[in-house]
Amino acid sequence: MSVDTYLVTVSGPDRIGVGAELFAGLFDLGDTARLIDVAQITIRGTLVLCAEVTLESDVGEQELSRALAARRIEGEGMSVRVERAIPAEAMAGRRLLVTLLAPTLQAGTLAGVFGAISAAGATCERIVHLASYPVDCYELIVLGSDHARLRELLARVAQIEGIDLAVQRAGLHRRAKHLVVMDADSTLLQDEVIDLLGEVSGRAEEVAEITAAAMTGEIDFAEALERRVALLAGLPESALSDVRSRLRLAPGARTLLRTLSRLGYVPAVVSGGFVQILAPLLGELGVEYLAANHLEVRDGFLTGRTYGEVVDRAGKARALRRFAEEVGVPLEQTVAVGDGANDIDMLSVAGLGVAFNAKPVVQEHADAALSVPYLDAVLYFLGISREEIDDPAP
């Protein structure tokens, strides 16, 4: 026997028991009715509750309406509408998640975003307000067939409006990204450790100049590391503790790490910095996975050399792959966050690469970019709401 599909929409001032009444009415139809999908939103006390239902053709719309009317859902401003659902073939396409955030998001910006969605021949199926502080963040579920065109148009809007925007494949895999790998200097930390070491060694200007060139990709990171570490020769080992005590975490860093751990994600740090500086700090923060360079120390003084495998641009990508294997997740279920040119390979390898307050050359190789100073904004790209972040439950 053939079936027809209907959309039942209940809307009006919310009250206790509306959902129970709707589903009881559908249950009254027995095996002739099958519930396919349900969606609900309540804004300022106004409810919109939708149910997609298939009915055997000989039952019909009138029987469905009578069953719902018998449950007395309507009244006191509440209405029930029954209509034929749009055929599935008319909704062809694949779903994408579009996450947009900025200090504030106003109607003009959303008009530009939705204009881009329309111009790409796509539609928005659902809107979720993930956060209203410290940034405004919305997640859109968008249905369309030309994903390349949609990404292009949305990127243009993001640039014009000055907002951060990410486009990802929809699906449960997004919440299954169990490994989040981040850079240390100027990402997890506000500081560049090598520059602080340069200050205590009296070679600050020379070190900072090389650092700047390396971060923009003007010189190879491995060469920059060798040259800068050489400038530290003769520095007493005790200076490492002094530098460690001066480190400042990025705003939102503790919140990010705490939330990741509480929700079952595994945080990791892959850095071109130094194990002797980072390991004690990360131990306090509960981060078990670290890949960084080792400073050589003899007789209590730095020799101006490193030892072991150099964690440079390629080394960061290798470390991400190694951690993913150790944690037991595929690469598409990893996230990488970084700001410098030596993070590009890592961002490209990860399932989601996030450029955090990064140079344009880095943003070009990332799936998403954040220009806000709050590191915990990365959580919104995982679909984690502010409510979940602030949840005090363990």
Express each pLDDT in 279-329 by its tens digit: 999 999 999 999 999 999 999 999 999 999 999 999 999 999 999 999 999
Residue-range domains of the chain with CATH? 3-85 (3.30.70.260), 90-170 (3.30.70.260), 179-390 (3.40.50.1000)
Q: What is the pLDDT of residue 392?
A: 64
Average pLDDT for residues 1-26, to the nearest whole number?
91
Kindly report the three-state secondary structure assignment for every residue of the chain.
CCEEEEEEEEEEECCCCHHHHHHHHHHCCHHHEEEEEEEEEEECCEEEEEEEEEEECCCHHHHHHHHHHCCCCCECCEEEEEEECCCHHHHCCEEEEEEEEECCCCHHHHHHHHHHHHHCCCEEEEEEEEECCCCEEEEEEEEECCHHHHHHHHHHHHHHHCCEEEEEECCHHHHHCCEEEECHHHHHECCCHHHHHHHHHCCHHHHHHHHHHHHCCCCCHHHHHHHHHHCCCCCECHHHHHHHHHCCECCCHHHHHHHHHHCCCEEEEEEEEEHHHHHHHHHHHCCCEEEEEEEEEECCEEEEEEECCCCCHHHHHHHHHHHHHHHCCCHHHEEEEECCHHHHHHHHHCCEEEEECCCHHHHCCCCEEECCCCHHHHHHHHCCCHHHHHCCCC
Dihedral pair phi/psi, residue 174, rounded to 5°: -65, -40
pLDDT in tens, 110-147: 999 999 999 999 999 889 999 999 999 999 999 998 88
| pLDDT greater than 90 at residue 393 | no
Dihedral pair phi/psi, residue 110, rounded to 5°: -65, -30
pLDDT in tens, 190-234: 999 999 999 999 999 999 899 888 777 788 888 999 999 999 999
Which of 74-78, 90-94, 158-162 shows the lowest per-residue confidence on average (mean pLDDT)? 90-94
Tracing tokens 């069953």 back to the chain, one arrives at 67
| pLDDT greater than 60 at residue 105 | yes
pTM above threshold 0.85: no
Give me the catalytic one of 185, 312, 339, 343: 185
How remote is the C-alpha of 198 from its chain's centroid? 34
Q: Are 380 and 256 in contact (CB under 8 A)?
A: no
Give the integer Cα–Cα distance in Å for 290 and 267. 9
Burial class (CB in 10 A: 0-12, 13-18, 19+), 360: exposed
Average pLDDT for residues 228-243, to the nearest whole number?
95
Give me the catalytic one of 183, 195, 339, 343: 183
Torsion angle of C-alpha atoms 342, 348, 354, 359, degrees rounded to 10:
40
Does 185 qualify as catalytic in the annotation? yes
Q: What is the pLDDT of residue 107?
A: 96
Q: What is the pLDDT of residue 356?
A: 97
Give the integer Cα–Cα distance in Å for 39 and 48. 8
Enumerate the β-bridge partners of residue 100: 138, 165
**pLDDT-based confidence at 88, cuts 50/70/90?**
low
